[in-house]
Amino acid sequence: MTEPMARQIVLASRPKGPPTAANFRLEEIPMPQLPRGGLLLRVLYLSLDPYMRGRMDDAKSYAKSVDIGEPMRGESVCEVVQSDRPGYAKGDIVLAHTGWRTHAAWDGPDLRKLDPKQAPVTAGLGVLGMPGFTAYSGLYVLGKPKAGETVVVAAASGPVGSLVGQLAKMVGARAVGIAGGAPKCRYVVDELGFDACIDHHGPGMAEQLAAACPKGIDVYFENVAGAVWQAVLPLLNTYARVPVCGLIAYYNMAAPPAGPNLLPATMRAVLTKSLTLRGFINTEFVAEHYADFLRIVSAGIADGRIRYREDITDGFENAPAAFMGLLEGKNFGKALVRVAA
């Protein structure tokens, strides 16, 4: 009789530029054992997020790099298989930072339990989880849009951007999205209720963005950088706020890009328009704002004012390919891998 095995995906080598399949390695390992006082978890859904690209580099960041041979890090929706912890029972659904694994022995601090009757459990990895709180805290705590102001966000069909625009509309601001391709743009306007959405695959992105922002831009929620930032820069109004939560255009750069040097133009705009650029990680705001976030966004989902979309890849072994697609913008909605649901 063969023992049941678990699987994990480790960092096999560091990417230079965009990751390739060779940077990942799928491993079979013995099934982890229930730890004393802990839980044995079975991963149902694994979350894929752009920040994971940064963890693959050996560079100082806000979080430690993944070591070679170590499982990729990440959050997942899990089912409790065995419990030696009071308050947790077999069959409970929890959010855990398991990394890219099919099973995990959890002896860490308490986990966030999910109630499948309140919202689909996968929302806990998206609009009701880290991406959602990133949108909420960046927009409401740092961006502070007022009624009548204009908010711009890229990756507008994704889990962060889609909520940024919907939260902007909830305070009476104009919401302008940027997304890749006509189907995503249609979804952003028709389903999510943005005022406009610019297709960055099409020609004249900068001109279209200017036309969609006749009163300039008051809040630009930065999650992509690159060409979008260059198009946004001349449209920013005096005292505009730029919460910076991601720079996906840079994540795959292997070396400093060739010229021209675009830093002076950005710094000149910061000076002459009294801009505020503020980098942030959502964890900074959890203690003060997470409860409000859950309350407001849960209510918005329940009454239909907040909508979201998921892009689910089947099969744990397909996580690397889905992740590489995410970095190229191939997903349409929150990227998830169905591992065992």
Contacting positions for its own copies (CB under 8 A)? 54, 60-62, 222, 225, 229, 238, 244-247, 250, 253, 256-281, 284
In angstroms, give the least distance from the CB of 68 to its own copies: 21
CB atoms within 10 A of CB 56: 21
In angstroms, give the least distance from the CB of 264 to its own copies: 5
In angstroms, give the least distance from the CB of 174 to its own copies: 23
Integer angstrom CA distances of residue 145 from 135, 136, 161, 164: 13, 12, 15, 11
Q: Is the CB of 96 or the CB of 269 nearer to its own copies?
A: 269
Q: Is the CB of 26 or the CB of 244 nearer to its own copies?
A: 244
In angstroms, give the least distance from the CB of 20 to its own copies: 22
Q: Is the CB of 222 or the CB of 311 nearer to its own copies?
A: 222
Q: Is the CB of 253 or the CB of 299 nearer to its own copies?
A: 253
* Preceding omega of 109 cis (within 30 degrees of 0): no
b or e along 226-258 (b: 16 or more beta carbons within 10 Å of the residue's beta carbon)? bebbebbbebbbeebbbbbbbbbbebeeeeeee
Sequence-ordered alpha helix ranges (H) in 56-158: 130-136
Q: Is the CB of 2 or the CB of 261 nearer to its own copies?
A: 261
- Asked if residue 167 lies in contact with residue 139, where contact means CB atoms within 8 angstroms, the answer is yes
Distance separating alpha carbons of residues 8 and 103, to the nearest angstrom: 8
In angstroms, give the least distance from the CB of 283 to its own copies: 10
Q: What values do phi and psi take at 66, rounded to 5?
A: -75, 135
In angstroms, give the least distance from the CB of 239 to its own copies: 8
Nearest to 235 by CA among 261, 260, 208: 208
Q: Is the CB of 142 or the CB of 196 nearer to its own copies?
A: 142
Q: Is the CB of 62 or the CB of 183 nearer to its own copies?
A: 62
Distance separating alpha carbons of residues 273 and 213, to the nearest angstrom: 17
Of all helices (H) and strands (E), which one includes residue 279?
Answer: strand 276-279
In angstroms, give the least distance from the CB of 245 to its own copies: 7
